[in-house]
Amino acid sequence: MSAEPKKSNNFIRNMIEDAIAKGDHTGDVVTRFPPEPNGYLHIGHAKSICLNFGIADTFKGRCNLRFDDTNPEKESQEYIDAITRDVNWLGYEWDGEIRYASDYFDTLYDFAIELIEKGKAYVCALTAEQMTAYRGTLKEPGKNSPYRDRPVEESLQLFRDMRDGKFQNGELVLRAKIDMASPNMNMRDPILYRIRYAEHHQTGNKWCIYPMYDFTHPISDAMEGITHSLCTLEFEDHRPLYDWVLENTSVPCRPRQTEFARLNLNYTVTSKRKLKRLVDEGHVAGWDDPRMPTVSGLRRRGYTPESIRQFCDMVGVNRAGGTVDVGMLEFAIREDLNARAPRAMCVMRPLKVTLTNYPAAQVETLSLPVHPQDDSMGQRDVPWTRTLYIDRDDFAEEPPRKWKRLAPQQAVRLRGGYVITCREVVRDGQGEIVELLCEYDANTLGVNPEGYKPNGVIHWVSAEDSVEAEVRLYDRLFNHESPDSDKEGDLTDHLNPDSLVIVTGARVERALAEPRQDLPYQFEREGYFFLDPELSGAGRPVFNRTVTLRDSWGKGGN
């Protein structure tokens, strides 16, 4: 990106500041992050995490982590563990113990009974198809269910019978009695409870009826004393129902729901359902595949918590929506790593270089900076030997105009080392170049040569004192700016065939046989790379490319 993106504003923070200044809000600010444990968190969730925990931190309040676990058929402990790990990794601590909506199942049941007793809810026996027909359309009002005026005692008994397992899945539901003519479809007698014979990961088989999200969420917020329930804009039409539940039950407090625009990134899909499909169909190697926009995938690719928090801060919090350029996320990680990633050299496609005038048994230890702009990071030792490797792309037998790398009878400097000149090209039986015979200038370590000028500077490693590595060049998973907007085709039609290129036989500095595991390296002239925690073995590291040094896509590289 050509310029540093500016930080955006946060209208929710401003709203709370104004309310405190006017005396409209007193006491603690209490927020919550309430994921459903039916998949891994993605970059969109990271924005919500940063918002909810950030608001609590700004106002010295509290933020809860609560799993809205009302759909046991799609939930698992794996997802709970992954979400907990991701929130921790992003640098946030929730208030007290982890909470679950299922902690309130007894309370929710009691509030459902209260609504029935007040004549605000009834048990309905319409089938799903009948209920759809009765619901009406955006232009036409719905029709009352024939069960809407059941006597209270009858609905109470049927609801208890539902709880006691006397009916089958889908046979009965509990519905709120609101207004079938409401212009807001969510207010047309929504379902509050349905029958589901499914073992729950927290409550086991205690329940065979489960509350709906729109009933569970406001009551869970109220039970926890949440003051600001922050939701994405798709819940704006649900807010009247959120308020209705709170107004018609004897909850201990009245949280306020406020909506903000969700995060949409180009070249990215952030629907958990669609991400799960990519996993299930084998298009990626799991939820933590480094091409996935999940927090786990970004972590495995080498993104840092600081870069993701900075990205969310740059995106800001507003109600306008729109799509954010994924280049902004890449900008954030480049900025972070440029300042603190240690440097190293990696030769992706090794080409042997023999220095014919360097003593065969001699090994010279060169001292190179760990970071050229940060002396506090110290120096690293890099051995210089008679036989070296350079990258094949840094040699051209017939160089183009303005070539700045090695060519026959031309000189280059090897990064942090001497200037060398290519004198002869060696080929194998098939005519492929397998070796370059070069001479080094012993008077050029740290100084310019006399009488000639090198073409440029290239990276290298010692042949004897380097380590073989596998390098995984990750790129964007999709080659379409809006991959899930194609109404004619399928999401998978837009998968980028070059999203993963595996390079075997690469060579890295010997120190990278046991590299740092907390931060990516900048492989000089190549990009930022992170040790893959799943694929690396003893003495044979596997590095994932976190991001290129420059935005090649923004310059037509896609």
How many other CB atoms are there within 10 angstroms of residue 28's CB atom? 12
Q: Which of 445, 464, 483 is the last residue of a domain?
A: 464
Domain that holds residue 408: 345-464
312: nearest Cα among 324, 298, 297, 320: 324
437: nearest Cα among 451, 423, 450: 423
30-33, strands of its sheet edge to edge: 30-33, 62-67, 99-100
Same domain as 355, residue 297: no
Same domain as 227, residue 139: yes
Annotated catalytic residue, options 262, 276, 340, 352: 262
Same domain as 484, residue 458: no
Same domain as 414, residue 369: yes
Q: Which of 201, 231, 260 is the last residue of a domain?
A: 260
Q: Is the dihedral of CA 26, 28, 29, 35 positive or negative?
A: negative
Token couple for 200: 């729950």
Reported for 157-166, long-range contacts at CB under 8 A and 24+ positions apart, including other chains, are 158/123, 159/112, 159/113, 159/116, 159/123, 159/193, 162/123, 162/193, 162/195, 162/208, 162/209, 163/109, 163/207, 163/208, 163/209, 165/197, 165/208
Residue 453 lies in a domain: yes
Same domain as 227, residue 161: yes
How many other CB atoms are there within 10 angstroms of residue 519's CB atom? 16
Residue 381 lies in a domain: yes
Write the pLDDT tens digit of every residue in 404-416. 999 999 999 999 9
Residue with tokens 């927020």: 31
Residue 477 lies in a domain: yes
191-195, strands of its sheet edge to edge: 121-124, 173-176, 191-195, 209-211
Distance linking the first and last C-alpha atoms of the chain: 15
Q: What is the pLDDT along the chain (558 residues), one digit of tens a residue?
A: 334 444 457 999 999 999 999 999 999 999 999 999 999 999 999 999 999 999 999 999 999 999 999 999 999 999 999 999 999 999 999 999 999 999 999 999 999 999 999 999 999 999 999 999 999 999 999 999 999 999 999 999 999 999 999 999 999 999 999 999 999 999 999 999 999 999 999 999 999 999 999 999 999 999 999 999 999 999 999 999 999 999 999 999 999 999 999 999 999 999 999 999 999 999 999 999 999 999 999 999 999 999 999 999 999 999 988 899 999 999 999 999 999 999 999 999 999 999 999 999 999 999 999 999 999 999 999 999 999 999 999 999 999 999 999 999 999 999 999 999 999 999 999 999 999 999 999 999 999 999 999 999 999 999 999 999 999 999 999 999 999 887 888 999 999 999 999 999 999 999 998 888 889 999 999 999 999 989 988 778 999 999 999 875 454 443
Same domain as 184, residue 64: yes
Active-site residue, 545 included: no
Same domain as 382, residue 233: no
Q: Distance from CA of residue 373 to its chain's centroid?
A: 30
What's the CA gap between 233 and 277, in Å, rounded?
A: 25
Residue 265 lies in a domain: no
Active-site residue, 262 included: yes
SS3 category, 220: helix
341: nearest Cα among 134, 512, 108: 512
Strands (E), 379-499: 379-384, 387-391, 411-414, 419-427, 433-441, 457-458, 461-462, 466-474
Same domain as 246, residue 311: no
User: For residue 13, what is the enclosing H or E element?
Assistant: helix 11-22
For residue 400, give the CATH number of its domain. 2.40.240.10
Token couple for 171: 């046979």
Same domain as 356, residue 302: no
How many other CB atoms are there within 10 angstroms of residue 6's CB atom? 8
> Going by DSSP bridges, is the β-strand pair 411-414/419-427 parallel, antiparallel, or unpaired?
antiparallel
For residue 173, give the CATH number of its domain. 3.40.50.620
User: For residue 489, what is the enclosing H or E element?
Assistant: none
Give, in order, the Cα–Cα distances in Å from 356 to each of 126, 309, 415, 526. 88, 52, 19, 28
Token couple for 483: 């991959």
328-354 burial, b for 16+ CB within 10 Å, e for fewer?
ebbbbbbbbbeeebbbbbbbbebbebb
- 3-state SS, one letter per residue, for 70-125: CCHHHCCHHHHHHHHHHHHHCCCCCCCCCEEHHHHHHHHHHHHHHHHHCCCEEEEC
Q: Which of 411, 442, 464 is the last residue of a domain?
A: 464
Annotated catalytic residue, options 13, 17, 36, 516: 36
Same domain as 189, residue 124: yes
Write the pLDDT tens digit of every residue in 310-342. 999 999 999 988 899 999 999 999 999 999 999
Residue 1 lies in a domain: no
Nearest 5°: phi and psi at 178? -120, -85
Q: Is the dihedral of CA 339, 343, 347, 353 positive or negative?
A: positive
Same domain as 354, residue 332: no
Nearest 5°: phi and psi at 353? -125, 125
User: Which pLDDT value is given to residue 346?
Assistant: 98
48: nearest Cα among 60, 31, 29: 31
What's the CA gap between 510 and 337, in Å, rounded?
A: 22
What's the CA gap between 190 and 176, in Å, rounded?
A: 6
What's the CA gap between 345 and 508, in Å, rounded?
A: 6
For residue 532, give the CATH number of its domain. 1.10.1160.10
Strands (E), 139-232: 173-176, 191-195, 209-211, 228-232
What's the CA gap between 51 and 318, in Å, rounded?
A: 11
User: Which pLDDT value is given to residue 3?
Assistant: 40
User: Which pLDDT value is given to residue 8?
Assistant: 53
Active-site residue, 199 included: no
Amino acid at 117: E
Residue 6 lies in a domain: no
| Exposure of 166 in the CB half-sphere (CA atoms within 13 A) | 8
Strands (E), 329-410: 343-344, 346-347, 350-355, 364-369, 379-384, 387-391
Strands (E), 167-232: 173-176, 191-195, 209-211, 228-232
User: Domains in the chain: how many in total?
Assistant: 3
Helix axes 213-223, 105-117, angle to 10 degrees: 110
Residue 351 lies in a domain: yes
Same domain as 185, residue 108: yes
Annotated catalytic residue, options 32, 62, 177, 272: 272
